[in-house]
Structure 1
Amino acid sequence: MRLFFAAMVLLAAARMGVAQDVGAQPAGANSEPVVLTRAAAIRSLPSEKAAEGRAVDLKGVVTWRSARRNHAIIVHDGETAVWVTLLGMSSLWERGLAPEPPVCEPGTLVRVKGKTGPGGYAPVVVAEALEPLGTAPLPEPLRLPVEELLSGSRDAQPVEVEGVVQEVTKPDGAGVASAMMVTGGHVCRVDVERGTELDREQLIDARVRVRGALTPLFNLRSQLTALKLSTNGRDDFQVMRPAPADPFQSTRVPLGNLRKFSPDANPYHRVVTGGVVTFAMPGEFFFLQDGATGVRVNSLEAEVAVGDVVEVAAFVDTTRTLAALNGAVVKKTGRAEVPPPETIEATGILQPQFRDSSRRVALADYDGRLVSLVTHVRRVEALDEKGGLGVIAESDGQAFAAVLASSGAAVPTALREKLVPGAEVRFTGLCDLTFAEKTPKLDLIGITGFRLWLRSPEDMVVLKSPPWWTAGRLQAVLITVGLVLALAVASNIALRRVLKRRTRRLEEVMRLHRDSELEFHAAREERHRLAADMHDGLQQLLVSAAYRMEAAAARMGEGPASAKDQLTAAHGALTRAQSGLRECIWGLKQVDDAEEDDFAALLRHAAGTVEHWPKGLVTVEVEGEPYSLSRQVMGSLLMLMQEAVGNACKHGKASAVKVTLHYFPERFEMAIRDNGRGFDPEQAPGTRQGHHGLESMRLRMKWLGGQLKVTSHPGNGTLIVCQVSRTAAEALLTNTGKGGHPGAGETGA
């Protein structure tokens, strides 16, 4: 029984131990832990899994803290370390939504609760609560080879790296300084949180051992790009071999022997060399030349001028194809003439001569040397507002850039005006080569291009101005000619379309002209026939009836007065019918017999010849520039006017009728306004009641292809407006022997 009880206790203890390692687990043997309690489990998450924000409850010691308040810490749980960001907690504190996160110096034992995040390079913990628990010893740093450091797999782990310090920057606003150290041939940046503690003169050129957290630099694709350590202060540095008290006590090397074979080589430490300054960019770099060798020297503090003879104690830059110098300490020793520039073409710079057929070692190269080239300008650009100038030029078919720094003298206006595309210019400046490995397996190095650093505007001499007929102007002329041709083609197409459209219109007008002419002649013949029939038939009958009634009335003598009165009234009615018939016959023939095309004069004549219209009843006015109307239109409008005036007198009792002829550019309009009693057009009697006046007016306008509008109100007179398009009004202007002439239009009446 006791053995069984002991076994149960051991089993329970084992289960509790597992729970502490992996956190609470849901049902299922293969389920993942709900809460992550180990740094290794967090670091092993793929980025997409870490982005899900899994719960974290982690205990460990702080190995590093950012000098930027409540920015980040690194926590080591005894096995491995992980980055912990405090930005979320700091943001809540700054907005007053949470208490300020505690400041946890390295060596503080803490408990972190939060969730996982993908981080910029490796998975991180996004802290939501941070609780100090006491203190604990820091873990021992890892001593790893450079290739393992460069793998990035040890991100956030405590490491120890040894190398030579070549530069120490000044502390930034947060007090962080950076030491640039070379280890195993690779540059490693060391960020020091309390950078003010560093002794720059003591560290530069010293061999040191640095303890810190490996926090490699990465790019926008989360790819490792360079080594970086994050340390807490000066105590993380241990000087293994101090720097020389005097930088110029370092190994002396001729300028032409940098990085060459030597059994006594002391890599990564300073060397001392010298030469004459041939070009200087204050606060950035300058060039030294000694014999046929030129070298670029990068220095932020050196103050030198062209012609100075100097000694420099500097580190050899191992990142360039041709050796350069970094972090130089400069000592001036005198002045000397600058070596004269070598006149050469671009091909000679890009394709130097080699010692043998292996083409691996050149007899001479022009990097860092003064050269002079005759070129043709392609493009000129201002580099900044301080006078910096960049010129893209071409020499021997090779393009390159010539740069005049803004620190130099201003370019004279006369020179700037001549420095235009196409100009032939001699440039003198420092040659700066660019390289690419053409065939890495054979170690062949190829020169891909170069630029010239110009010292002053005197390094640009315009030899010949560009011809007026430049490629740019030729291009402009070709573009202009092309545009003119395009416009001519477009105009030709447009004119052809207009010609086709007008041809179709002319054909339509001619067709309408023929149709209208036939219709006009037919209508005229019919009017003449109708007028003759009415005159010879109905007119004679009316005359005969009137005569007989007049004779009957004369023979009645003293007959009944009532019978005589009836005969007299009948005689008067026949006389009026005869007068109206004469008006109708006159209207049918008047247009054809008119001596001129003046429609206004025709209307005035017609108004004056109607016997039963009071004199001065009708006035005719003209507005606009008159144009000729067809006989058909004038005849129809004349009879419409007679009908309108007759209605105004008979039914409206009008005392004045005004006829206005409007000659608009696009239409002809005749308006008839009277001052009679008026009427309601909606209630006016129609053809069923024997009134055909309005209906006949509408029909006439319909035949003409126009419109008729009647406006009237009881007590306010009547306005009749007749509208017809100008083309319809001029559709037929045939010569009838009375002065008419043919016209044109788009549509016929």
Structure 2
Amino acid sequence: MHHPSATTRLLLIWATLAALSALHGASPIMIIAEAKARLARREVQTPVRVRGVVTFSNQRLGLAYVQDDSGGIGFDPRIQSHPLPEPGQTVEVEGMLCRRQGLAMVLHDRIQFGPPEVTIVSQEKKKTTPMRFDLDLAAQMRIDGLLSRVTGVIRRVSVPPIEGSPMLVEISSPSGYAIARLPWRESPETLQQWLNEPVSLTAVLVCRAEPPLLPEDADALLLVPSRSHWSLQDKALDEVFQRPPVTAASAIQATQRANVKQRMHIVGTVIAAKPNAWVCLRTDDGSIEVSTRQMSDFVPGQKLAVACWPQLEDGRMMLLDGVCRSLGMGPPPEPVHLEQGFFHPSRQRELVSISGILRNHSVPGGIPRLSLELPSGVSCLLHWEPFFRPEQVSSLEDGSQVQVTGLFHIQHGGTDSTGLRLSILPRTPEDLRVLAGPSWWNQERLTLAVWWLLGITGLAVPGALVFRWQVWRQARHIHAMESKAAAEEERLRIAREFHDSLQQQLTGAALHLETLKGALDAAPEMLPRLIDDTTAMLRHCQMEARHCIWDLRSETTVRESLRTALKDWVENRVPPPAQTRIEFYTEGPEPHLPEGSPFQLMRIAQEAVTNALTHAEAHHIRVSLRTSHSQLELVIEDDGCGFEDRLLRQPKPGHYGLSGIQERASKIGASLYITSRPGKGTRVCVRYSLFSLRHEACA
């Protein structure tokens, strides 16, 4: 014979009860988990009926909890026609699903709330087996309404002034922090003895309540049904503190957090502490942080004995839920001085002192964000928030040289190449000491200076371009005027030359022709001599005219460069016979001569070369121009037939070249030396003193 399973029998019973309830016009009974699932899906238009055992009930709070095998849910127990349900009773609750202060509850309606229909099914008290949860795990699982077994340490007790209101007890554990509501009162002396003592309690665990029922920093709300569910373990920690303490951070090992007696006994000296949060202790070989919600004000130098659970968190050893007992006072610990700012993981939570450049990364009007630029090149965050107000650090100027004393901290997940984020936590304003103010050239002033320079450059560049254009135009005008003046001066010089030499020669030739006319009848024997003289004069006029024409056609005027003009005339303007070679040699710098002197020297050279070509029958003519710091020497040498010295004193009739050379040298104050021997050639040397010119310029 086939027998139905237990599950099948339960389903049949549930279906039968649902059918009977439908016949009587009531909602079918559903398990609490299904009711909470409907609330999550917002299927709340129809009433629901749940059945379970009451685990908590409080008239003052207006809150009770009923629990079945699938979970628990809250309801308002304040029913005028029925007595308050007591923990352990089996009840049926019928009403509308809704959330009140974050709690999943069954109430009369969704607008005015109010107590639902509550029916006590059985007066017999049933014992519900509590479950065991870690507070952090319960918060992650969002446990709500289950009777749970919790152990922890009492940190603070608050007694509301309203009579009958539950006491509020803050309980810490290695897994989190909870608020317990106790529906009875104790004397102040008893409550003082409770502080920092272990406790074990059975309570309804609620993790989804909202403030003010549950503070934001708490993991859970613990609703304790009665005094019998509260057990103080005031002797448990004495056994821990009687064990030999651990005095070195390297000897600390992680332990399980299941039993109070498994706490570790550690002794150290306080280097920094934040009440109701943590305390840092210096041990024999380093520092370590103790997480504690103890309300005592620990000060640096205080020696503490701590009972705690060592646990690994974020790759570092942490002492959780520490219970601290003072062993006396000592001198404040000295910081470890880091000269170059090199950090080591062994310095974690150590008190250090470093110097660096303060950098301010804050946005205008925002919370100050500060860092230290250390001599090693590492950047370290200045974690001021635990002990300072924003106005205390906002006055620190960017670029200041500061010395900071505080707790060193390494955190994984940084943005640099090492994947670490370094920070230092100063404790008091004395830990922030400004050594030197920032440079006057801060970012704002530098930016302003750059903008000023850009503005000045923007004005100067167009001005410079306009000025350059004006200078160029003025230079062109001056050059045109100089060219015009030079041309005018050249015309005047050529006119003077025509007047001084060519015109006189032509006048002389005309006089000779007049004399020749008269001598035809009076003195026929003078005719040959007069004809020769007239011919010589005309040839000399022809040579002077050729020189003037060369001056007019020459691209380089003598006044610009005597050296260049001589070279150009010798190489390009003198047509020597085929058997004659003319060369030009120069030595020394370009001479700076007064106006008129270059022209006379040029004419001397031209006259001497022309004489050598015309009369000396020379094969080699050398023109040399030598200059030194004191004098100029112009030498014209040839290897022609030469002449006798007496011709220098009394030239032949019709020979005017030597006398012209002497006149030109005398005109500029130069010394003239002419040496010649028959058959040995001729040497013409002109020496022009530059020392007197330099002396006149200096004067």
Q: Report the TM-score, using the length of structure 1 for normalisation.
A: 0.45
Question: What is the TM-score of this pair, normalised by structure 2?
Answer: 0.48
State which structure, 1 or 2, has the greater radius of gyration over its C-alpha atoms.
2
